[in-house]
Chains A and B, each alone.
Chain A
Amino acid sequence: MAKLSGFDYNIKQDLIKSILKDKFARCAFFLLLILYLSVFLASFISPYSKEYSNRDKAYCPPSKIYIINEKGKLSFPYTYNYKRYFDKENFDTKYIEDRTKKYRVKYFSKGEKYKLFGFIPFDRHFYDVEKGGELYLLGTDINGRDNFSRLLYGGQISLTIGFLALLVSFPLGMLYGGISGYLGGKTDFIMMRIAEAIMSIPSFYLLIILASILPANMTSIQRFSLIVVILALIGWAGFSRVVRGMVLSIKKREFVIASEAIGASNLRTIVHHILPQTLSYVIVAMTLSVPSYILSESGLSFLGLGIQQPDASWGNMLKEAQEFINIISRPWLLTPGFLIFVAVLSFNVIGDTIRDVLDPNSKER
């Protein structure tokens, strides 16, 4: 990719300034910042690892943290473990707090060993509980895994997959549209008909079919990267059509003729001279399409076609909430949905602000 000509330092500063000036955009920006920071530091913030599972505590409700003790005095935060019992009248497994022993919440204490950022060996966690205690801030899932920890680990996938897909689909769409528009004639005709054909397939149908032809025996990394590619294959066609339209008008300008005159190759003219001119549109389109990628991934994982267990993603965590009994008596399983909502909303608000700056004529806001 050519350097960001036509998109200089000034506009970048403008962008950040206008995001911070608008109060909705500012909230959205800080919300996203918090979300990304916490998933980035997931292994430090969460008390349990991704693999942790307590088979005796399936669907354990969220632990309550007390700061006022039974004598009505302020005390160091503590919690009780849950005890499982069988309700013989309703034939139901239930949990009740075991008030016999208090467990103090500890901060920055030593716990399970992990690698910070994937390579620094570390063993301190932001919060943890005394030995023997269990602290599930948002309850546990069917396998007795801590919901809060998995939300953070799941966010690592859900919040990055959209960006990675963008990095595949946008260069592809730009190049495709650029070549089609610049070369014109028969090439243009054929390339655009193919793009239209892909656009005519209902995108979600295409998405699930592509996801379903993935072989089952893949490592989670392979699966993750293939899902990125599949997501990217959905969005590029419509985008490339817009780029082509812009290229059609750009290619008549003097600097393109100059580039042809000095004998630059077609590809060089397209990549170095024509495509940078479309950047302000591309940036707007990119920010506005992050949410749709996040939604597609979570939809796919929700159906069980995306990220697979034991890996967490917000979509596949919501899969459990499909059962009636779970949504009625275990509402904490719905938390991933709220996070998806917050992330998508924030990206939309920021995208709108960026469009206002880069495309002042549009009055959508």
Chain B
Amino acid sequence: MNLAGYVIKRIMQSIPLLFLVSIISFFLIRLAPVDPLAELRLNPSITQETLDYEVQRLGLDKPVIVQYGLWLKSFIKGDLGYCTTGERVIDKLKERIPNTLLLTSVVIILTWAVGIPLGIIAAIHWRKPIDRLLTILSSIGMAIPSFFFSLLLLLFAVKTGWFPTGGLTSYNFSEMNSIQKIGDIIHHLVLPVVVLFTISLSGLQRQMRGNLLDVLQSDYVKFARAKGLDENKVIYKHALRNAINPMVTLLGFEFASLLSGAALTEYVFQYPGLGRLILEAVMKSDINLVMASLMIGTIMLVAGNLIADILLKIVDPRVEAV
């Protein structure tokens, strides 16, 4: 199967999946004995017209199945309703999604750039002191609760004053020139990135090590060694290419766990991302916002898996769509 056909087939497969997710999350949220518009009604700055519009958009006077249909229709049209603050949900999402994507992509790039080499080093020096040390360090990295680590770094930031203690931009951001702006964002990103990087690095390093160790035992590596190839060539030319393939699949999972893991980190660092948005929405029982960010989170996750699958197809053309 060619690449284009594969991509189209995978996209077609994700559509029923998203549909199913929307059903599950819609009924889950409707389980809550909350009037979805309660907070909107209490906000004096919301006009009666907006309220009427929302009642009509959500079909609150109609049976649940019809409500779901109406919600789905307006979701596809891109109309996500209003938050309790009176802002449009879609504007809020547009503001937050790039921030979360920025955070997760920086973390993924860094973890791959550091985790893969560390995994290789550990596998090559299997059961030697350096491997032991890396195993201990990765165990520690996996065991630190992200929110606790964030708190410790926050303590560090407050004590030393070297890093800002939250947010993504400084108060005088709008007055800066573009180079200062980039510098300011990087300055704010350091601590959250360190937290998420440490946590996902450990898993990646271990996985890479395990894969390479498996491959190093296979027959073709033994054969390559037997015919007298240079050990470096055996590892980097024969073993490594095959050990990387499963890692590409892992990319999708990593993206998923970052979306989840980032929520607590974003919360502690007051980072304006999707995770904190959904948290705040849940706490204020802002149903429109919860529903929309849940769907967007799912779409991002499914898209992440999709990209990982396509990448895998590129590096390993033997893969077939199921």
Contact B158 A201 (CB under 8 A): no
When A204-B275, A212-B32 are in contact, do A337 and B155 touch as well, CB less than 8 Å?
Answer: no
Contact for A322 among B159, B209, B268, CB less than 8 A: B268
Contact B298 A200 (CB under 8 A): yes
Contact A345 B140 (CB under 8 A): yes
Total number of A residues with any Cβ neighbor in B under 8 Å: 47
1/0 per residue, CB under 8 A from A, across B260-299: the answer is 1101100110000001001100110100001001100110
Q: Which residue of A lies closest to B210 (CB)?
A: A364
A263 to chain B, nearest CB (A): 34
Give every chain B residue within 8 A of A194 (Cβ-Cβ): 20
Contact B147 A299 (CB under 8 A): yes
Q: Which residue of B lies closest to A190 (CB)?
A: B20
Give the dominant DSSP class at B's interface. helix
A314 to chain B, nearest CB (A): 9
Task: A352 to B136: give the CA distance in the assembly, Å.
Answer: 12
The answer to whether B259 has its CB under 8 Å from any CB of chain A is yes
Give every chain A residue within 8 A of B28 (Cβ-Cβ): 209-210, 213
Contact A348 B24 (CB under 8 A): no
The answer to whether B135 has its CB under 8 Å from any CB of chain A is yes
When A200-B301, A201-B297, A349-B139 are in contact, do A213 and B29 touch as well, CB less than 8 Å?
Answer: yes
Give the dominant DSSP class at A's interface. helix
Interface residues of A (CB under 8 A from B): 24, 193-194, 196-198, 200-206, 208-210, 212-213, 215, 291, 295, 298-299, 302-305, 318, 321-322, 324, 327-328, 331, 334, 337, 340-341, 344-345, 348-349, 352, 362-365
Contact A328 B145 (CB under 8 A): no
Q: Which residue of B lies closest to A361 (CB)?
A: B214
B208 to chain A, nearest CB (A): 11
Give every chain A residue within 8 A of B154 (Cβ-Cβ): 324, 327
Give every chain A residue within 8 A of B302 (Cβ-Cβ): 200
Contact A213 B20 (CB under 8 A): no
1/0 per residue, CB under 8 A from A, across B198-214: the answer is 00000000100110011
- A198, A213, A324: which has the most chain B beta carbons within 10 Å? A213
Task: A162 to B90: give the CA distance in the assembly, Å.
Answer: 37
Contact B151 A322 (CB under 8 A): yes
Q: Which residue of B lies closest to A352 (CB)?
A: B139
Contact A197 B210 (CB under 8 A): no
- A324, A341, A365: which has the most chain B beta carbons within 10 Å? A365
Q: Which residue of A lies closest to B147 (CB)?
A: A302
When A210-B28, A303-B279, A324-B158 are in contact, do A197 and B267 touch as well, CB less than 8 Å?
Answer: no
Give every chain A residue within 8 A of B298 (Cβ-Cβ): 200-202
